[in-house]
Amino acid sequence: MVSRGTVYLIATGMLASQPVRAHHSAANFDTRAEITITGVVTRYDWKNPHVYMAIEMSGADGALVEQAIEAGASSVLLPLGLTPDSVRLGERVIVRGNPSRQGAGHIVLGRELTKADGTVLPLNIASRSARVPSDAEASSIAGTWFSPLSSFGAFSGSRRSWQLTPKAAQAVTEYDGTTQSAHAQCIPVTAPMLMVYPVITTVEVGDDTVVFNVDWMTSRRVVYLDGRGHPENGARTLHGHSIGHWEGDTLVVDTTLFADHREGLAFGIPSGAGKHVVERFSLNADRKHLDYEAWLEDADHLAAPVSFSSQWEFRPELTPTGLACDLEVAQRFLSGE
């Protein structure tokens, strides 16, 4: 258990009361209004951090027009059931979504897609999953795991209770999610937020290392188990320097030497040289879940340390997309299309 006198924040499916902060381009859409588009698929681009498609449909005057659709990231949608082969060009579909605030003719935010056979596919991070979870059991923390949206939502909501320093509070006030978003710049978030993103994570356990491959902008964390310490005056990197040890079957990871990051603690909250993360990874007794705990401090930005826990689902049937972030796709929303 990670304690150190911190506030303990538990992910227990609080998504309904702790909504996920909208990502950079969601503000372009009227999420209170819903529209339905029926037509034929003319484009389907399976990319990160957005999947884009186009539907040829009848316009207001009866003429055929092409409607662009923005969907979530392939890394987020694949665990929910959307795949590179889910949609075929020339296929007739129905898309439910939210209109652009700029009016008709502009891109639409997709929520779900219904195929001619009645199959409903997710287009949004909050969409219902089209997959039936595996009933497989893990033998250790090694394997393929998925962090559900409820964990990400709980983490996102929990930051409201964090005690920020004046420096961090000012940074939040000045934060512009459009121009400063790490998402829009193809910069991955970092631990612990990275570890609760609703994407696939594969864990490789070796004699001297444990490697976490997180399917979010091809993030890779290496934890050294060979007894080394953190290097003095070591280089600061995006994911920091991680050392670990086993406490029984629980992996304990200590990470420092993080590079400066505009959203290194959470949305709008930066981190710097003082960021320090301690994590615990344990196979749950049901062998179908991995219990994750994290303790986080950064004296420049947090007036008091915080801690958090969640669960991952064992999903050996899933294969990560392995797709890097496409900067052109990430910044497409800036065009005002």
DSSP codes of every residue in 34-79: -EEEEEEEEEEE--BS--EEEEEEE-TTS-EEEEEEE---HHHHGG
What percent of the chain shows pLDDT beyond 70?
91
Q: How far apart are CA 224 and CA 243, in angstroms?
A: 5
pLDDT of residue 296: 98
Q: Which two tokens stand for residue 277?
A: 């993360």
Q: Which domains does the chain have, with CATH numbers?
A: 7-20+135-314 (no CATH), 26-125 (2.40.50.140)
Q: How far apart are CA 159 and CA 54, in angstroms?
A: 37
**Looking at residues 277-285, what average pLDDT do you find?**
98
Q: In the structure, what pLDDT confidence band is assigned to residue 59 with cuts at 50, 70 and 90? A: confident
* Residues 81-108: tens digit of each pLDDT: 999 999 999 999 999 999 999 888 789 9
Choose between 59 and 129: higher pLDDT: 129
Q: Which of 169, 190, 192, 172 is nearest to 180 (CA)?
A: 172
Facing residues of 57 across strands?
A: 65
* The pLDDT of residue 11 is above 80: no
pLDDT of residue 1: 37
Is residue 88 within 8 Å of residue 41, measured between CB atoms?
yes
Q: In the structure, what pLDDT confidence band is assigned to residue 286 with cuts at 50, 70 and 90? A: very high
What does pTM read for this prediction? 0.90
**Looking at residues 276-304, what average pLDDT do you find?**
98
3-state secondary structure of 122: strand
Q: Which of 151, 230, 221, 137 is nearest to 193 (CA)?
A: 151
Q: How far apart are CA 210 and CA 224, in angstroms?
A: 7
3-state secondary structure of 110: strand
pLDDT of residue 25: 57
